[in-house]
């Protein structure tokens, strides 16, 4: 494969002869001799690898080592695997799964038995079905002992039926 070198700030241009329009030339690849910016079929890629916003960018795999920012509308078909924190509109998106448990509270600060919880599960909500109140602040926010949720207030909740919702990252 040949190697082409341009000097003195000259642009490198590859053109296609379009026979459907009586032989007009269309620029399909251009490397700016001053900035190193590459334009392929109308899509600009800067020397630092930033892809411009003209036209579609498609491929079977895209890899980003730091941040992927999308402005405007975007469509994703298929699956998306995300590791680490993801934000949408400034809000952190929860990845993982939600679990719900219905249980009774305890009379004094102590542990509510919940066989399905694991250390690290995060309490998303605690709703008292008996009188329709939010009792989440009366419990630890993250499970510290598998199979238990620690009640942190001295409120007697032993006669209450509570719906607990956990997020498992």
pLDDT for the residue numbered 43: 76
pLDDT for the residue numbered 144: 94
Strands 91-93 and 86-88: antiparallel
Check the CA dihedral 169-90-141-84 and report its sign.
positive
In contact, 127 and 135? CB cutoff 8 Å: yes
pLDDT for the residue numbered 155: 83
- DSSP H helical segments within the chain, as ranges? none
Q: Taking the CA atoms of the chain, what radius of gyration do you get in angstroms? A: 29
Element (H, E) at 3: none
Report the distance separating Cα 102 and Cα 162, nearest Å: 6
pTM of this structure:
0.47
Spell out the per-residue pLDDT of the chain, length 169, in tens.
Answer: 677 777 777 888 888 877 776 777 878 888 888 877 788 777 777 656 666 555 555 555 666 666 666 666 667 766 666 666 666 666 666 667 788 888 887 777 788 888 888 999 999 999 998 888 999 998 999 999 999 999 988 888 888 888 999 988 7
């Amino acid at each position: 494969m040949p190697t082409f070198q341009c000097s003195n700030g000259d642009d490198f241009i590859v053109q296609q002869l379009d026979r459907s329009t009586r032989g007009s030339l269309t620029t399909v690849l251009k490397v700016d001799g001053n900035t190193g910016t590459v334009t392929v079929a109308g899509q600009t890629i800067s020397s630092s690898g930033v892809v411009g916003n003209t036209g579609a960018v498609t491929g079977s795999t895209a890899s980003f080592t730091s941040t992927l920012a999308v402005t405007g509308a975007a469509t994703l078909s298929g699956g998306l695997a995300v590791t680490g924190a993801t934000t949408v509109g400034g809000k952190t998106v929860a990845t993982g799964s939600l679990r719900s448990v219905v249980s009774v509270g305890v009379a004094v600060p102590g542990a509510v038995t919940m066989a399905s919880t694991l250390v690290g599960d995060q309490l998303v909500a605690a709703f008292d079905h008996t009188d329709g109140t939010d009792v989440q602040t009366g419990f630890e926010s993250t499970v510290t002992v598998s199979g238990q949720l620690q009640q942190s207030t001295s409120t007697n909740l032993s006669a209450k039926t509570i719906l607990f919702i956990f997020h498992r990252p």
